[in-house]
């Protein structure tokens, strides 16, 4: 399954526009919505020794390959930059290369994880996908970026948080494997938003107070009244536009949206756990990737139910905090308060089901 950064409710809104100012954007959104089948790029990465035995080598750094789809909806495209190559001068190619590197750096340097699978998985991306394609997505094997329609969306490689978000879907695929439906799907989306934000903050060396906490900042053109696709700090405030409408994300469980659209509202309701993470990070201060991020990363390694609810995930984060920092620690207290702050009440005080 593909996990696009632009939620389908926003694409649907754009696709329905009957305004000649956004004719290109409306058609681009309709094409993006028609793009349903995940693209799988056949690729084997291995080497052989002198006796023709398979050798798998885990490198210390990223192994990036950027391909150009040439505005076709075919993958993988033509390789235009590989690991160690000089910049090409193509903004999309070079931004994708740098964004993959920034994501690798966060997980490697902070959490000691070697790529998305923990074993040096190559980081592959395709840029210039489709014609004015309004999305970026992880297809299970590679990152894919559209160039945007130019009226509402700019190119999708321009935001490090988008690249970090999509690659984190790969990490979730190899760890918690949260089902992409309902509350577990919203958690899947939220985890990608959390680490997408942390990729950007780590690369810019921003503290909790300095960070924007936005996902997709800079993706909108100047025609749109909005700063980003989503805000972890203040869900529901990322945009408020006469054409696109208002950001529909709730920030508390009391406002959870019951819907059959978008796999049960995975993009809308992700605002609730997003806000919980922000409250934990705010309470702890400093660099969010350190203690708050460590707790969320540790949680991915726990035996989570693929259909985890918000309450079950909250309890898992508290259990992770208690295990690493202690039951009476400021970290555990921050986790308790963060989830309480969004109306998610745990069934017991130590994070284990009562």
Report pLDDT digits (tens) over 132-174.
999 999 998 999 999 999 999 999 999 999 999 999 999 999 9
Q: Is residue 351 part of a domain?
A: no
Q: Which CATH number does the domain housing residue 64 bear?
A: 1.10.390.10
267 part of the active site: yes
pLDDT number for residue 197: 98
Task: State the average pLDDT for the chain.
Answer: 90
Structure tokens at 28: 């681009």
> How many CA atoms within 13 Å lie on the side-chain side of 43?
17
Is residue 217 within 8 Å of residue 227, measured between CB atoms? yes
pLDDT number for residue 102: 96
Closest CA to 266 of 203, 322, 193: 193
Q: How many domains does the chain divide into?
A: 1
Q: Is residue 109 part of a domain?
A: yes
Residue 263 lies in domain: 3-341
pLDDT at 42 over 50: no
Q: Is residue 349 part of a domain?
A: no
Q: Is residue 354 part of a domain?
A: no
Q: Is residue 347 part of a domain?
A: no
pLDDT at 325 over 90: yes
Helices 182-204 and 271-284, packing angle to 10 deg: 40
Query: Mean pLDDT, to the nearest integer, of 300-320?
Result: 96
pLDDT number for residue 50: 67
List 121, 141, 267, 282, catalytic entry = 267
User: Biggest alpha carbon distance in the chain?
Assistant: 66
Q: Is residue 99 part of a domain?
A: yes
β-strand pairing of 123-127 with 143-145: parallel
Q: Is residue 350 part of a domain?
A: no
3-state helix, strand, coil in the chain (%, to 5): 40, 10, 45
List 151, 166, 189, 282, catalytic entry = 166
Q: Is residue 322 part of a domain?
A: yes
């Amino acid at each position: 399954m593909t996990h696009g950064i632009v939620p389908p409710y926003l694409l649907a809104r754009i696709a329905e526009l009957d305004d000649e100012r956004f004719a290109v954007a409306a058609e681009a959104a309709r094409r993006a919505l028609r793009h349903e089948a995940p693209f799988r790029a056949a690729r084997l990465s291995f080497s052989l020794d002198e006796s023709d035995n398979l050798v798998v080598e885990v490198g210390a750094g990223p192994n990036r390959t950027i391909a150009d789809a040439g505005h076709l909806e075919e993958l993988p495209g033509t390789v235009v930059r590989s690991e160690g190559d000089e910049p090409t001068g193509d903004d999309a190619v070079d931004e994708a290369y740098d964004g993959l590197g920034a994501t690798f750096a966060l997980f490697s340097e902070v959490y000691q994880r070697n790529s998305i699978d923990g074993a040096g998985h190559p980081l592959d991306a395709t840029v210039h996908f489709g014609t004015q394609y309004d999305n970026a997505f992880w297809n299970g094997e590679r990152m894919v970026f559209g160039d945007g329609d130019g009226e509402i969306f700019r190119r999708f490689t321009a935001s490090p948080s988008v690249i970090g978000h999509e690659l984190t879907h790969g990490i979730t695929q190899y760890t918690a494997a949260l089902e992409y439906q309902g509350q577990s799907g919203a958690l899947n989306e939220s985890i990608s938003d959390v680490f997408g934000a942390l990729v950007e903050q780590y690369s810019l060396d921003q503290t909790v107070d300095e960070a924007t906490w936005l996902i997709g900042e800079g993706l909108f053109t100047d025609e749109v009244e909005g700063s980003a696709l989503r805000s972890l700090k203040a869900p529901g405030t990322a945009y408020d536009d006469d054409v696109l409408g208002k950001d529909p994300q709730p920030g508390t469980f009391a406002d959870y949206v019951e819907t059959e659209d978008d796999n049960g509202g995975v993009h809308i309701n992700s605002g609730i756990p997003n806000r919980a993470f922000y409250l934990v990070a705010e309470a702890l201060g400093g660099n969010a990737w350190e203690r708050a991020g460590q707790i969320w990363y540790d949680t991915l390694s726990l035996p989570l139910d693929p259909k985890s609810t918000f309450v079950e995930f909250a309890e898992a984060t508290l259990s992770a905090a208690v295990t690493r920092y202690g039951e009476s620690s400021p970290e555990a207290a921050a986790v308790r308060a963060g989830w309480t702050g969004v109306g998610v009440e745990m069934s017991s005080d130590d994070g284990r089901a009562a």
